């Protein structure tokens, strides 16, 4: 039986993790077994720079926090070593960074994840990892909106340029006659 102090600390960790899961748009649960401290430090730095929070937590605490947050499908993957990465703004950052890291390390594995409060499997996480980041997607959308407007502006400018040349040609023809 844990002491009251230890129990209170665990309840606080569960409450904080549950709130973090609720306020995030996406998250990934991984097995970090077998990676070196140097690799772990590099991974944490990459995640931190992308705005992703990465925490190693006991499976029972992740389970309780996930249950409080309404994610009940994570139970079957919570065994062995587990860490959770959450992102409050970027849907693909955690999946992209962790998938790339898992591809380079045989013992590091992605277990499951969630997206907007719904548990997702490995296939969807791999699909997310292949998507470009938010900034790139926004740039593509803006480029798609801007292309027709730019084409229209070039067409109008060509008409203006052509009409500006026409009176000069007719004036020269009149002078020659």
Name residue, tokens 């900034």.
135
Alpha-carbon distances, residue 58 vs 75, 84, 137, 149, 162 (angstroms):
13, 10, 35, 54, 73
**Is the model's pLDDT at 138 over the cut of 90?**
no
d(CA 51, CA 126): 20
What the block records as the tokens of 50 is: 């992308």
* Residue carrying structure tokens 């801007």: 146
- Distant-in-sequence, close-in-space partners of 25: CB < 8 Å, separation ≥ 6: 87, 88, 89, 90, 91, 115, 116
Chain CA centroid to CA 32, Å: 20
Fold for the domain defined by 4-131: Alpha-Beta Plaits (3.30.70)
pLDDT of residue 117: 82
Average pLDDT over residues 59-88: 88
Give pLDDT, residue 89.
86
* Mean predicted confidence (pLDDT) in 3-24: 90
Q: What pTM did the predictor assign?
A: 0.71
Residues pairing with 110 in the sheet: 30
Domain ranges of the chain: 4-131, 132-177
Task: Match 């991984």 to its residue by tokens.
Answer: 30
């Amino acid at each position: 039986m844990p002491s009251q102090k230890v129990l209170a600390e665990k309840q606080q960790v569960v409450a904080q993790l549950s709130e973090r899961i609720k306020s995030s748009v996406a998250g990934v649960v991984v097995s970090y077994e077998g990676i070196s401290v140097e690799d772990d430090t590099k991974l944490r730095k990459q995640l931190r720079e992308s705005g992703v929070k990465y925490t190693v937590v006991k499976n029972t605490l992740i389970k309780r926090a996930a249950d409080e947050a309404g994610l009940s499908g994570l139970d079957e993957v919570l065994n062995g070593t587990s860490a959770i990465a959450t992102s409050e703004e970027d849907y693909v950052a955690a999946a992209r960074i962790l998938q790339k890291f898992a591809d380079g390390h045989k013992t590091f594995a992605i277990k499951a994840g969630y997206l907007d409060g719904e548990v997702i499997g490995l296939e969807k996480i791999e699909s997310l990892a292949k998507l470009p980041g938010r900034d790139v997607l926004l740039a593509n959308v803006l480029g798609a909106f801007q292309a027709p407007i730019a084409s229209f502006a070039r067409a109008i400018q060509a008409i203006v340029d052509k009409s500006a040349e026409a009176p000069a040609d007719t004036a020269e023809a009149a002078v020659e006659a």
